[in-house]
């Protein structure tokens, strides 16, 4: 992992989560510094849960660093693609860690959403490379839509399977898994909608939020699930907006509390309908 510049002091998991959540608000080199530190945390953490958490930060920070790195003349494409490669390797490790936790019984076999989210994170590999190069290809669009469609069907089946548990199961635990699955389905539906609408240069593209972007422990008003990027005349991509995703029933239940969000909200209905609320 290459790095340019002075490495800031990073002492804990929360140092990364406390950063501003919006793409572009944190310098690319600072993001690489956080990734470098958390890669060391990953290598020294004994538990798979800990390794998964640290690798998720590494991957998320490196992908974001590659995207926000200012390079209007594309002189640093190789450097940025190198960051993406290291970031994707980290995200694939997250997928492996989460799979091992399930396979070896260290996680309830029904607790699959973290693993499924890890799979989602790796779906956008070619989109990130296209962003760096400055051209979203129709091949990339097709690959993403095929993967999202497959994940959506698998996740919806997983959600239905959770309803088949006998009454002896812990209902509170199963209900939590159901809520997590519902949230993931909503995200997949939004990504599907966004990429179906991408037709040509100038249309926005949607990618998953960074790890800290979707984490509500710090700066909760900045929390979001989706990042929209728009292509500029110089073939670079800039932030076009972010969005929080809510299922319609949860949106209705917590409507009076949604004022805490600075960002627009996408409300996903039970039938898959999507309403964008500014």
pLDDT bin (cut points 50, 70, 90) of residue 274 is confident
Which pLDDT tens digit goes with each residue over 181-207?
A: 999 999 999 999 999 999 877 789 999
Give the mean pLDDT of 42-58.
94
Percent of the chain with pLDDT over 70: 88
234 or 21, greater pLDDT = 21
Cα distance between residue 49 and residue 174, in whole Å: 20
Give the mean pLDDT of 224-241.
87
Cα distance between residue 53 and residue 132, in whole Å: 26
For position 270, what pLDDT does the model report? 76
Residues in the chain, overall count: 278
Give the mean pLDDT of 58-67.
96
Residue 31 near residue 8 (C-beta atoms within 8 A): no
Q: Interior CA angle at 240 toward 196 and 141, to 5°?
A: 25
Residue 154 near residue 132 (C-beta atoms within 8 A): no
Question: Around Cβ 103, how many Cβ atoms within 10 Å?
Answer: 11
Mean pLDDT is lowest, of 21-25, 83-87, 137-141, 262-266, for 262-266
Report whether pLDDT(167) > 60: no
254 or 147, greater pLDDT = 147
4 or 70, greater pLDDT = 70
Mean pLDDT is lowest, of 55-64, 214-223, 229-238, for 214-223
For position 202, what pLDDT does the model report? 75
In the structure encoding, which two tokens stand for residue 263, read together?
Answer: 């960002």
For the ranges 49-53, 164-168, 240-244, the maximum mean pLDDT occurs at: 49-53
Per the prediction, the chain carries an average pLDDT of 87
pTM: 0.88
Report whether pLDDT(256) > 60: no
């Amino acid at each position: 992992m290459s790095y340019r510049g002075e490495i800031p002091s990073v002492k804990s998991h929360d140092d990364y989560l406390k950063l501003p959540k919006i793409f572009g608000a944190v310098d690319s080199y600072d993001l690489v510094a956080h990734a470098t530190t958390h890669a060391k945390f990953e290598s020294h953490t004994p538990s798979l849960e800990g390794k998964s958490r640290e690798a998720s930060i590494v991957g998320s920070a490196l992908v974001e660093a590659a995207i926000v790195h200012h390079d209007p003349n594309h002189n640093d494409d190789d450097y940025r693609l190198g960051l993406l490669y290291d970031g994707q390797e980290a995200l694939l490790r997250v997928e492996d860690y989460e799979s091992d936790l399930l396979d070896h019984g260290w996680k309830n076999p029904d607790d699959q959403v973290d693993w499924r989210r890890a799979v989602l994170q790796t779906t956008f590999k070619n989109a990130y490379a296209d962003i760096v190069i400055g051209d979203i290809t129709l091949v990339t669009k097709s690959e993403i839509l095929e993967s999202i469609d497959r994940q959506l069907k698998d996740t919806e089946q997983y959600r239905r399977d959770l309803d088949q548990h006998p009454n002896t199961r812990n209902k509170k635990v199963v209900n939590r898994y159901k809520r997590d699955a519902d949230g993931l389905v909503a995200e997949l539906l939004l990504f599907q909608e966004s990429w179906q609408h991408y037709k040509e240069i100038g249309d926005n593209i949607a990618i998953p939020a960074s790890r800290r972007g979707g984490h509500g422990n710090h700066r909760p008003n900045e929390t979001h699930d989706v990042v929209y990027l728009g292509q500029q005349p110089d073939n670079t991509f800039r932030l076009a907006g972010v969005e929080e995703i809510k299922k319609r029933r949860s949106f209705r239940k917590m409507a009076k509390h949604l004022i805490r969000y600075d960002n627009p909200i996408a409300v996903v209905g039970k039938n898959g309908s999507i309403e964008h609320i500014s």
